[in-house]
Amino acid sequence: MSIQGIFPIDKWNFKSESILTDLPAADFEQLMVHKSEHVLKKGEILFREGAYPSGIYYIVEGKVKKYKTDKTGREQIIYVANTGELLGYHAILSQYRYPDSAATLEESRIAFIPKEDFLLTLQQSSILNNRLLKTLSHEFSVLANSITLLAQKPVRERLALQLIVLREKYKVNFEEGEAVEINISRDDLASLVGTARENVVRVLTEFKEEGMLKTKGRKIFISDVKKLIVLANAG
Same domain, 46 and 84: yes
Question: The domain that contains 181 carries what CATH number?
Answer: 1.10.10.10
Same domain, 29 and 144: yes
Q: Residue 4 domain-assigned?
A: no
Number of domains in the chain: 2
Q: pLDDT for 74-96, tens place per residue?
A: 899 988 999 999 999 999 999 99
Residue 128 pLDDT level (bands cut at 50, 70, 90): very high
Q: How many angstroms separate the most distant Cα atoms in the chain?
A: 56
Rounded mean pLDDT of 113-135? 94
Q: Residue 222 domain-assigned?
A: yes
Rounded mean pLDDT of 178-189? 90
Residue finishing a domain among 103, 133, 149: 149
pLDDT score, position 130? 92
Same domain, 42 and 69: yes
Residue finishing a domain among 149, 176, 205: 149
pLDDT score, position 176? 66
pLDDT score, position 6? 78
Same domain, 101 and 160: no
Provide CB contacts within 8 A for 44, sequence distance 6+. Answer: 103, 104
pLDDT score, position 148? 75
pLDDT beyond 80 at 8: no
This prediction has a pTM of: 0.85
Same domain, 114 and 190: no
User: What whole-number percentage of the chain has pLDDT above 70?
Assistant: 94
pLDDT beyond 70 at 10: yes
Same domain, 176 and 195: yes
Rounded mean pLDDT of 114-136? 93
Q: pLDDT for 26-71, tens place per residue?
A: 999 999 999 999 999 999 999 999 999 999 999 999 999 999 998 8
Expressed as residue numbers, the domain containing 135 is 9-149
pLDDT beyond 70 at 165: yes
Residue finishing a domain among 149, 164, 195: 149
Please give the torsion angle defined by the CA atoms of residues 165, 167, 173 and 177, in that order, rounded to the nearest 10 degrees. Answer: -130
Q: Residue 2 domain-assigned?
A: no
Query: What is the separation of C-alpha 147 from the centre of its chain, rounded to a whole number of angstroms?
Result: 16
22: left (phi over 0), alpha (psi -120 to 50) or beta: left
Please tell me the distance from the alpha carbon of residue 76 to that of residue 150, in angstroms, as a whole number: 11
Same domain, 109 and 170: no
pLDDT beyond 90 at 141: no
Question: The domain that contains 122 carries what CATH number?
Answer: 2.60.120.10
pLDDT beyond 70 at 3: yes
Same domain, 117 and 161: no
Residue 177 pLDDT level (bands cut at 50, 70, 90): low
